[in-house]
Structure 1
Amino acid sequence: MKRNRYFMIVILSSLLFLACLLMLFKRQNRQEPAEGETETIDFSGLGRTEETPLAENTETEIQIESEPVHDADTAFYTTGLTEELKARITGKSYPDTAEPIQISYEELAYVHILHYDFQAQVQEGELICNQAIAQDLLDIFRELYEHQYPIEKVWLIDAYNADDELSMADNNTSCFNYRTVPGKSKLSNHSYGCAIDINPLYNPYVRTKDGKVLVSPQNAGEYADRSADFPYKIDREDLCYQLFIEHGFEWGGAWNSSKDYQHFEKKIQKPD
């Protein structure tokens, strides 16, 4: 019995000794990563694989996700009106009539831009304007985009069948619309494509008639008081105001008899 126990102890001791030798051999022959290299660690059991150091990879992922999906270098451009564009606007913002029209298709330009909406998402926008201010609009909207200035939407007013009230009520930024000044027979500067309305719901047209305050669009009453504090308000401290003034535009918010806080226009030579 004692002899059997002795042999068992010897065998176990030998096995333990061999195991220690094997572990030492593997440790001596392990290849460490060279300096500057990263070691690949398998996190497949957690549903992902990472390379160390993790901090660098996390930063890279955030940078990639925050980049706009649009290419600003190619998304800002202006062209003449194509036949497709003419078809889109004729009978809506551009009259389909035999009567003389004060501006031709050739005097108008299509402007394509990018802008940030109210959810800080990049959106495409399009405007039709007078050729004389096309470059101004490109420069202004490019800078607004670079500063992530919020504009809810920039659609051709034809999406609203050229109904200015509907477009404003939906807070749509737009430019060309061949129409008269409300309540008058003369053409609006929008008819010549040299005026633009920015975030009109929050920057309404306000005037007083017979002691009554009139606001357009009609759903913008709460934004008529410019002493109140609310978002998307255009005033003299606003970047949008400053850029348009720098480019030679006039602001409707500076008018005397009425106030058009959404409105910027540039004087151009008009046909007689």
Structure 2
Amino acid sequence: MEKKNMDFYSLEFDKDSEIFARINGLSYKDNCTVPVSDLRYLHVLHFGFDGKSHEGEIICNKYIADDLLDIFQKLYEAKYPIEKIKLVDEYGADDEKSMADNNSSSFNFRFISYTTKISKHGYGLAMDINTLYNPYVKTVDGRLSVEPANATDYVDRTKDFPYKIDDEDLAYKLFIEHGFEWGGAWKNSKDYQHFEVPDSVVKKLYN
């Protein structure tokens, strides 16, 4: 076990563990190409929208485990509000349900929407924050696609509303400092909730 303290820590796990039993057949699907040995379970604390301290759980790639622990510890120290940090498996590994409930999460083996390319979430190399208020917006066949579907009120980023991630936001600054890229800076689509490692890292780890 790799620990920083009793509140923020990382655990290795294998296919015989209770942790794997929770994700097997859900976020860790039968066709998952990522070895279990590459994943880590993180325990973090976060301040909810109620202003109280809550426990959070994350499954991510071991490559970003220490980065996430440091980021979430700093967010916690700053009392940065994050409503929920649950494993996507608590939503049946259904990303839409997780995002619609404003859940922040990392690993879920899947493909990028409308493509056959493995999402960086599929490698556990991305993290989404306060997903309802920071949707994924893309034009598909001439029509606007908003994920989650109940986030249409937050598509217009010129509006002022709470929990909005922009380049002045603390989460943005911390993720960028740790070498992540922000989906809100993409040209052809906008994923305001999303932070991921560069493509070069994925190619290096999973050639």
Same fold (TM over 0.5): yes
Deviation at 1:208, TM superposition (A): 2.1
Quote the residue 2:22 is aligned against: 88
> Within 5 A, what are the aligned runs for 1:170-209?
170-209=101-140
| CA shift digits 1:96-116 (9 cap, x unpaired) | x3x5x3211100011100000
Q: Is the 8 A contact 1:153 1:173 kept in 2?
A: yes
Residue 183 of structure 1 and its aligned partner are, at CA, apart by: 1.2
Amino acid at match of 2:183: G
Letter in 2 for 1:195: A
1:210 Cα offset (Å) = 4.2
Greater fraction strand: 2
Deviation at 1:185, TM superposition (A): 1.1
Q: What is the CA distance between 1:191 and its match in structure 2?
A: 0.7
Task: Provide the rounded CA distance (Å) in 1 between the counterparts of 2:94 and 2:35.
Answer: 21
2:175 corresponds to: 244
Question: CA–CA distance in 1 between the matches of 2:127 and 2:144?
Answer: 23
- Partner residue, 2:205: 270
Q: TM-score normalized by structure 1?
A: 0.71
The higher relative CO (CA closer than 8 Å, separation ≥ 6) is in 2
Post-superposition CA distance 1:80-124 (Å, at most 9, x none): 1251011110000001x3x5x321110001110000000101000
Gaps of at least 5 residues in structure 2 are: none
Q: Distance in 2 between matches of 1:137 and 1:231?
A: 23
CA distance in 2 between counterparts of 1:143 and 1:170 reads 24
Aligned pairs for 1:5-154 within 5 A: 73-81=5-13, 83-95=17-29, 97=30, 99=31, 101-154=32-85
C-alpha RMSD of the superposition: 1.3
Instruction: Summarize deviations over 1:246-272 as a string: whole Å, max 9, x none.
Output: 000000000000000000001322323
What is the match of residue 19 of structure 1?
Answer: none
Q: Which has the larger Rg?
A: 1
User: What's the secondary structure of 1:75's corresponding residue?
Assistant: coil
Structure 1 SS opposite 2:96: helix
Distance 2:27 2:166 in 1: 29
Which residue in 1 is equivalent to 2:147? 216
| In structure 1, C-alpha distance between the alignment counterparts of 2:21 and 2:92, rounded to whole Å | 13
CA deviation digits over 1:19-41, x for unaligned, max 9?
xxxxxxxxxxxxxxxxxxxxxxx
Unaligned runs of 5+ in 1: 1-71
Query: What SS does the aligned partner of 1:134 have?
Result: helix
More helix by share: 1
TM-score by length of 2: 0.92
